[in-house]
Amino acid sequence: MVLAQIEIVRALRRSDLHHALRGLPCIIGFLVDPEDGKIFAEAARDIFKSPYNRRRDNAYEIVHWDAENPGGSKKADASLRHVLSANNRVFGFAAEIDDMPMLFRQAADAIVQTNPIDDRALKAVFRALTGSAPSSDAISEAVAAPLHLLGIAIRRGRSPNSSIRMLKKLIATRSEAAKPPQVSDGPTLADLHGLGEASDWGQRLAADLDDYRSGHIAWADVDRGALLAGPSGTGKTTYARALARTCNVPLHVHSLFHWQAQGHLGDLLKAMRSAFNDARRDAPCIMFLDELDAFGTRNGASDQHEQYTRQVINGFLECLDGIAGREGVVVIGATNLPSKIDPAILRPGRLDKIIVIPLPDATAREGILRYHLGDSLADTDLSDIATRLEGASGAVIEQQVRDARRQARSARRPIVLDDLLASIPARQPLSAASYRRACIHEAGHALVGHLLRHDTGSAPREVVVFREIAANGSGGRTTFSLDHGHDRTLQSHLSRITTFLAGLAAESVVLGEIGDGGGGADDTDLHRATIMAAATEVSLGLGESLAYLSAQNSEDILTWLRWDPALRKRVDSILDDCMEWATELIAERREAFDVIVGELGARGRVSSELIEELLTAHGPRDRPNRSAKAISALVKKASE
């Protein structure tokens, strides 16, 4: 809106129409981007409402001609005559001069062309809304963007870099034509590997849809939606295509970003409803919604965006289960961040089934290699390649095969094993000391995570330690199964922070000092523990104040930490207490802990079943009294 006001003023000044800025009588036409006409009309209305432009004799009117409001009929001319005679100032907006009625063109002082916003104006808006401006190179990519996309991307409280990233995404999807719904000609679920429960659920859905089409079961007996959760690159989009082919139904692919690119809120909601209408016409079908976390949550929206977020989510819920219904439409959402999704979207009858797609294990990695290689290297043992790709996602493995094929084409020969080996990023063997530290670190997460699983709502599923790592890679990982319906209290958050810090605590207990593997980047142990500790204070109402100061996202919370010494002191205290508690738990269960470290060192992998078995064999399964006492002390101290 501010950018539109700036351009209106500049257009008037460029055309020497200063009398319009001084509140004198005028009739001015503006030629604007068709997608931004409504924005310019609202901006002009705000200009006229300004205290500096209020005069008793200065009645005004804004007229906007677009596809929904053409201006060529006799009735339109009669209405326009009244507008022009009854108001001292009239601004008219249209995409083309021919869209303006002849009467208006004849009466107008001038018809002026608005220009794209320049970098100087954009920088000023960035500074006003975000506190700083991005680099000149980043600004240059934004100056040609339509105003409605700039308005979506640049928001108060969002960092300049995040705004630019959002803008690039919106620009990329804006011109993207909707893909015709059709059954994928790619793989079926039987061709994919490492999907776990996602494959089983998809096969059951295919059987149910067959029964539904044949009339053997009602739509009420079919799963109507699911949420795919997992790290980036695990193949959630590929899964949706394979699911559609397995079910032999059309696939409709959409995202909130695609709908946002259609315009402002009204246009977004219209595009959303149109997408669901198209899906209903093709029923039975699958509608795939990528990056579902982009909807956000109504409870986490900042004040200035709360109404927008609420209307978007309410519109989506209406499409999911409104009066029109969606019989025959299975909605599949995908996200890397299931905790960022509004709980109402996950209620029964909507996307109530949460399916986790994990990173592929060694067997799955070999299967993915086989699939992408096709008939190539059919008799070659790929187990060593699969082992070297430890921690790689399906997307990364596909890229390795693509690179290997490119190398073979360059050499004008069929692909060979050496091509695959050359395509794998160089890996650095860990020293004996580094490998042992990684085993100790991950064993700390496993033990403490298991002991506090009832408080955190998550339990360690598998622990893996790598003998070789890629550049900037981690020496190991502990994956957790999440209970998304778990009751989240201060107690559960402190327990989760303690689990995050347990790896460093284990290093301190056994080695006497910690290494640098717990921090240094986003999504590391220290990053997650710090964000969660600060969120209890500034976002979740679980600290010393009930005041809501920030959305629960890393950028906003870190900004608060940098500028608020008192908050930083409280967060330091929480982290110190949780670190101390993790250290105590590991020391108390040292015998079981040492066995887990030994198993990791020998096998490189420990399952949840083995963790349970080891803790049962080396002492009581849990220490609920001790845990409750420790948690109560932390809760009390955090609340003081």
What is the spatial distance between Cα 330 and Cα 326, in angstroms, rounded to a whole number?
A: 8
pLDDT per position as a tens digit, 357-400: 877 877 888 888 888 888 888 888 888 888 778 777 788 888 88
What is the spatial distance between Cα 549 and Cα 540, in angstroms, rounded to a whole number?
A: 9
Confirm whether pTM is higher than 0.75: no
Judge whether residue 170 has pLDDT over 90.
no
What is the spatial distance between Cα 387 and Cα 362, in angstroms, rounded to a whole number?
A: 6
The answer on 369 and 292 residing in a single domain is no
pLDDT on residue 303: 52
What is the spatial distance between Cα 578 and Cα 495, in angstroms, rounded to a whole number?
A: 8
Q: Give the domain-ending residue among 68, 89, 113.
A: 113
pLDDT on residue 177: 43
pLDDT higher at 510 or 429: 510
The answer on 404 and 456 residing in a single domain is no
In a domain, 192, yes or no: no
pLDDT on residue 568: 92
Judge whether residue 50 has pLDDT over 80.
no
In a domain, 386, yes or no: yes
Q: Which CATH number goes with the domain that contains 239? A: 3.40.50.300
One-letter identity of residue 399: Q
Q: Which pLDDT band, with edges at 50, 70 and 90, does 143 fall under?
A: low
pLDDT per position as a tens digit, 281-296: 888 999 999 888 888 7
In a domain, 185, yes or no: no
CA-based nearest residue to 369, from 398, 348, 338: 398
Residue-range definition of the domain harbouring residue 166:
129-172
In a domain, 357, yes or no: no
In a domain, 177, yes or no: no
3-state secondary structure of 33: coil
Strand runs labelled E in 325-442? 329-335, 353-356, 427-429
3-state secondary structure of 48: helix
The answer on 148 and 105 residing in a single domain is no
pLDDT per position as a tens digit, 544-590: 888 888 777 777 788 888 888 999 999 999 999 999 999 999 998 89
Q: Which CATH number goes with the domain that contains 558? A: 1.20.58.760
Q: Which pLDDT band, with edges at 50, 70 and 90, does 429 fall under?
A: confident
Cβ atoms of residues 419 and 444 within 8 Å: no
Count of helices and strands (H, E) across the chain: 27, 14
The answer on 393 and 247 residing in a single domain is no
What is the spatial distance between Cα 426 and Cα 469, in angstroms, rounded to a whole number?
A: 8
The answer on 621 and 517 residing in a single domain is yes
Q: How many domains does the chain have?
A: 5
In a domain, 194, yes or no: no
What is the spatial distance between Cα 543 and Cα 472, in angstroms, rounded to a whole number?
A: 35
Q: Is 130 left (phi over 0), alpha (psi -120 to 50) or beta?
A: alpha
Catalytic site residues?
442
pLDDT on residue 571: 93
What is the spatial distance between Cα 267 and Cα 275, in angstroms, rounded to a whole number?
A: 12
pLDDT higher at 58 or 178: 58
| Residue % of the chain over a pLDDT of 90 | 18
pLDDT per position as a tens digit, 577-635: 999 999 999 998 898 899 999 988 888 888 888 888 877 777 654 444 444 445 555 55
The answer on 572 and 549 residing in a single domain is yes
The answer on 136 and 23 residing in a single domain is no
Q: Which CATH number goes with the domain that contains 366? A: 1.10.8.60
The answer on 457 and 589 residing in a single domain is yes
3-state secondary structure of 228: strand
In a domain, 191, yes or no: no
The answer on 143 and 23 residing in a single domain is no
- Give residue for tokens 């060593």: 384
3-state secondary structure of 73: coil
| 605-607/468-470 β-pairing | unpaired
pLDDT on residue 497: 94
The answer on 509 and 554 residing in a single domain is yes
pLDDT on residue 593: 92
What is the spatial distance between Cα 90 and Cα 28, in angstroms, rounded to a whole number?
A: 6
Q: Which pLDDT band, with edges at 50, 70 and 90, does 53 fall under?
A: low
Q: Find residue 63's DSSP bridge partners.
A: 92
State the DSSP string of 107-172. H-SEEEE--PPPHHHHHHHHHHHHSS---HHHHHHHTTS-HHHHHHH--TTS-HHHHHHHHHHHHH
Q: Find residue 373's DSSP bridge partners.
A: none
In a domain, 220, yes or no: no
What is the spatial distance between Cα 191 and Cα 563, in angstroms, rounded to a whole number?
A: 52
Q: Please work out, in degrees rounded to the nearest 5, the angle formed at the alpha carbon of residue 142 by the alpha carbons of 141 and 143.
A: 105
**DSSP H/E element including 418:** helix 417-423
The answer on 489 and 391 residing in a single domain is no
pLDDT per position as a tens digit, 340-364: 788 888 888 888 888 888 778 778 8
Q: Give the domain-ending residue among 399, 425, 451.
A: 425
The answer on 618 and 517 residing in a single domain is yes
